[in-house]
Amino acid sequence: MKRALWMKRALCLLAAILPLAAQVSYDRLRQAESEPGNWLTYSGNYSSHRYSGLSRITAANVARLRPAWVYQIRSTDRVETSPLVVDGIMYLSEPGGSVTALDTLTGRPLWKYVRTLPKTVRGCCGPMNRGVAILGDMIYVSTYDAHVVALDMKSGIVRWDTEVADPKLGHSMTAAPLALKDKIVVGMAGGEYGVRGFIDAYDAKSGKRAWRFWTVPAAGEPGSETWAGDTAKTGAAATWVTGSYDPERNTVFWGTGNPGPDWNGDTRIGDNLYSDCLVALDGDTGKLTWYFQFTPHDVHDWDATEVPVLVDAVVRGEKRKVVLFGNRNAFYYVLDRTSGKFLAGRQFAKQSWARGLDDSGRPIMLPNSSPTTEGQKVYPDLGGGTNWFSPSFSPLANLFFVAARDSGGIYLKGNAEYKPGAQFNGGGQSPIEGEDPIGVIRALKPDTGELQWEFKLHSAAGAGLLSTAGNVVFTGTNEGDFLALDAPTGRLLWHFQTGAVIKANPVSYLSGGKQQVAIAAGNSIFAFTLDE
């Protein structure tokens, strides 16, 4: 007790003597590209480019990168955080929904918020947390026990704490919130428990819920006809990865997960809207503007919970505002941002379930590609052609970078019976005997998805990507290597062995006038800078 009190006082004193970050206004978030020395949102900007405008680290000097500091997280759970950095202070989430503020010069903690989880919380895949949001003078985090918490950015003191859903039924939260002008948008996890998915927005100052969009429509609502009987009540379509935002149109873009139950769709006949969709929502009301479904009637657990990337591009000879989407089903999509119309698509990872996409973007299913009681070999595997880890778009190189997976699996069909608070799965997937998981970093032309180069990994891809104005692409591997690739060619420029698996997204920012690049590896945060 005395040690804990001493530590709290020491951290408060340290926070008092170090420079504090200025408030982060909505205007700063809108213009995040204009201050590349900071990293203000989960994906770097509202368009989710995960691109740094800093160019001090280049292909010519990246080999001189050295660790600046390492911060050890006091948790044995997997760390998937993508930190924010504001004016020399890093804000990172930890498993369960704890939050720490660090000095980026030294890695020393300034304050820490510890989230204590109830024993009743349930989740499929562990209490990982992927990041925080910032608006004004508050830090926002969603927690594993399905709360949204607002913290004072200077001290970590709780400003408000709002329950989003009942964790005893299987609701949980792992995604970083998305801060808008006056609202905090959050997604939820728990599709494996037969919950009904939603996307919420909360008043940034009070924590009061502003709107909710149900990703599985109620009876009589548009889309309900795509569900048989009462199956929509346990339809899942969770929203467990952070979306993107177009402030000009006040539109939120968010991906949705698989329908429930997994792997057995016999009872839920139909396309099962709005599962496996990208939904475009009005930021003020949460009303649906448009949707695009990537995998109708999904029986492979190929969530569309990947990060949508917003760009302006020339597609089919016409300049358009588009969404780029590398989907877990192994296809790459280009959609019109204003209407959701399918413009282009192409396979980017190994797959055996579809002959291709029709003119509307709907997959043309192949026979013998659904799970069976005996087991059916299908590509991609449960991990998908890609997954939650972020892609990157470089306006400098004009390339879309994606961490791809070329692995297959044996899909099994089983029975599913819904019981509140229990997993609601109708089968599973096992690896193909004798086949090793395959991971590849691929660079695609943004308007067509045409492959420009690839860099092969030693095992399945599991970390996100960061591209920079220095024409460098950063990513990590399961073997613990932090890699730097040449953006135009994919050539390996540098690597550092962290000693632990990397399952996170890199970020870049300025600290003390020097560019740093940071990544979570194992249970630590590594920050790198040039040896000058």
Cα separation, 278 vs 265, in Å, equals: 21
Measure the CA–CA gap between 429 and 418, rounded to whole angstroms.
Answer: 20
**What is the distance between the alpha carbons of residues 298 and 257, in angstroms, rounded to a whole number?**
9
Distance in angstroms (rounded) separating the CA atoms of residues 254 and 12: 38
State how far the Cα of 96 lies from the Cα of 127, in Å rounded to an integer: 5
- So what's the pLDDT on residue 22? 84
* Annotated catalytic residue within 103, 301, 447, 486: 301
Residue 282 lies in a domain: yes
Tokens of 532: 């000058």
pLDDT, tens digit (0-9, with 9 covering 90-100), for 337-388: 999 999 999 999 999 999 999 999 999 999 999 999 999 999 999 999 999 9
SS3 at position 437: coil
pLDDT at 244: 99
CB 215 within 8 A of CB 222: no
Sign of CA dihedral 328, 523, 242, 105: negative
Is residue 237 situated within a structural domain?
A: yes
Question: In the structure encoding, which two tokens stand for residue 455, read together?
Answer: 């860099």
The bridge status of strand 451-456 relative to strand 65-72 is unpaired
Give Cα separations from 358 to 175, 255, 344 (angstroms): 32, 21, 10
> CB count, 10 Å around CB of 489?
15
Query: Nearest CA to 33 among 48, 20, 15, 52?
Result: 52
Is residue 34 domain-resident?
Answer: yes
From CA 276, how far away is CA 269, in angstroms rounded?
A: 15
pLDDT of residue 527: 99
pLDDT band at 14 (very low <50, low <70, confident <90, very high): very low
Task: Count CA atoms within 13 Å of residue 371 on its CB side.
Answer: 27
Q: Which pairing describes strands 277-282 and 98-103: parallel, antiparallel, or unpaired?
A: unpaired
Confidence of residue 119 (pLDDT cuts 50, 70, 90): confident
pLDDT band at 20 (very low <50, low <70, confident <90, very high): low
Domain assignment of residue 11, yes or no: no
Amino acid at 259: P
Token code pair at residue 64: 């001189």
Q: Is residue 8 part of a domain?
A: no
Q: Give the SS3 label for residue 185.
A: strand
Residue type, 145: D
Q: What rounded mean pLDDT belongs to the chain?
A: 96
Does some domain include residue 3?
A: no
Domain that holds residue 490: 22-422+439-530
Q: For the segment 173-223, what is each residue's pLDDT rounded down to a tens digit?
A: 999 999 999 999 999 999 999 999 999 999 999 999 999 999 999 999 999
Predicted confidence (pLDDT) per residue in 25-50, tens digit:
999 999 999 999 999 999 999 999 99
Cα separation, 522 vs 72, in Å, equals 9
Q: What is the pTM of this model?
A: 0.96
Give domain status of residue 4, yes or no: no
**429 within domain boundaries:** no
- Total number of domains constituting the chain: 1
Q: What is the four-CA torsion angle of 227, 233, 234, 239, rounded to 10 degrees?
A: 90
The pLDDT value recorded for residue 198 is 99
Question: Does 301 participate in catalysis according to the annotation?
Answer: yes
Distances (CA, A) of 213 to 34, 37, 275, 433, 492: 32, 35, 13, 42, 43
SS3 at position 345: strand
CATH number reported for the structural domain that contains residue 491 in this entry: 2.140.10.10
